[in-house]
Structure 1
Amino acid sequence: MLGLPNGRVILAPWSEQWHEGFLQEKEKIEEVGRPYIAEVHHIGSTSVKYLRAKPVLDIAVELAEFKDGVYVSSLLEQLGYDYKGTEILPDRHYLSKGSPRTHQIHMFERGNSYLMEQLKFRNCLRNNEKVRKEYELLKIKLAEAYASDKFKYTREKASFIQSILRNYG
């Protein structure tokens, strides 16, 4: 199951289909974005086995040079993505796909600190069951409290995420 209505916070149980969907999308992204794309990563909660998540695939695309993001975005539009620009989230080109939204791409320059944090947090959740379960409980609580406010839901997770980034690996 993929798809999240705009502005809503709905968590779904983890699905193997998320991993399979990422692999299929990664192949398409790499095909249209060659040679500008250095690496494609599955990030966010859908990339962590057994973690409830908003049913939207988060994909990080590493570019050799940030300036290439506008051109690569025009290529990704062939796959149904809508380019949202660089002002929505810091230091990245942002794109989304679907209505309701099923995929989102965050394009960073290789080595970007936000990307490195995303990968570090994802890896911690993948490798530490205790942290994964704590994070899932927090997400469930916040999804119930802020079902109609995705920005508040995201802000309220920030202190937990920063604590993990400081204390693990």
Structure 2
Amino acid sequence: MLGLPKGEVFLVPWSKAWNKEFLLEKEKIQDLMNEYVLNIHHIGSTSIEHLCAKPVIDIAIEVRDFNDGEKASLFLEKLGYFYHGTNILPERHYFSKGEPRTHQIHLYQYGNKYLLEQIRFRNYLRNHREARIEYEQLKIRLAKLYKTDKHTYAEEKTSLVQSILEKV
């Protein structure tokens, strides 16, 4: 299942289909934007086996020059993405697809600290079952508390995320 309606927060059990969906989307992006793309990563909870998640595929694209993000919007619009600009999240171009939203792209300049943190966090949870379970339990509790407040849901995860990043 993919798709998160605007203004809602809910989690679904992990699915093998998420990685397949990422790989399909990655191929489409690579075909259209090959000259700009250095790497494409599956990030977020859908990229971590056995972790429940909001049903949205998070994709990180690395480019050489941050200014290539605006050029990317022309390509990504062909795949159904909407460009939200650079003011939504720090140091990234943000795109979303669908309503309900099924995919989101975070486009970073190569070596961006926020991207590197996301990859380190993802890899840690992939390799540390106990941390993954602790994170999942927190997400479940927060999703029940903040069913219509995605910003508070995200903010309330910050201290656990930071404590994990300090271990890496």
SS of the residue 1:153 aligns to: helix
Deviation by residue 1:93-136 (Cα, 9 ceiling, x = unmatched): 00000010000000000000000000000000100000000000
| TM-score normalized with structure 2 length | 0.99
Other-structure match for 1:87: 87
- Are 2:137 and 1:137 equivalent residues in the alignment? yes
Other-structure match for 2:51: 51
**Letter aligned with residue 84 of structure 1:** H
Other-structure match for 2:122: 122
Q: Distance in 2 between matches of 1:36 and 1:50?
A: 33
| TM-score normalized with structure 1 length | 0.99
Other-structure match for 2:161: 161
Other-structure match for 2:101: 101
The count of corresponding residues between Structure 1 and Structure 2 is 168
Cα RMSD for the two superposed structures: 0.5
Deviation by residue 1:6-27 (Cα, 9 ceiling, x = unmatched): 1111100000010000000000
Q: Distance in 2 between matches of 1:7 and 1:138?
A: 20
Q: Distance in 1 between matches of 2:72 and 2:120?
A: 25
Q: Distance in 2 between matches of 1:42 and 1:73?
A: 19
Other-structure match for 2:5: 5
Q: Displacement, 1:74?
A: 1.2
- Are 2:72 and 1:75 equivalent residues in the alignment? no
Q: Distance in 1 between matches of 2:2 and 2:86?
A: 25
Q: Distance in 1 between matches of 2:37 and 2:73?
A: 11
Q: Distance in 1 between matches of 2:30 and 2:73?
A: 12
Gaps of 5+ in 1: none
**Letter aligned with residue 148 of structure 1:** T
SS of the residue 2:107 aligns to: strand
Q: Distance in 2 between matches of 1:17 and 1:99?
A: 19
SS of the residue 1:69 aligns to: helix
Other-structure match for 2:15: 15
List 4+ stretches of structure 1 deviating above 3 A. none
Q: Distance in 2 between matches of 1:74 and 1:164?
A: 37
The percentage of aligned residue pairs carrying the same residue is 57
Q: Displacement, 1:76?
A: 0.6
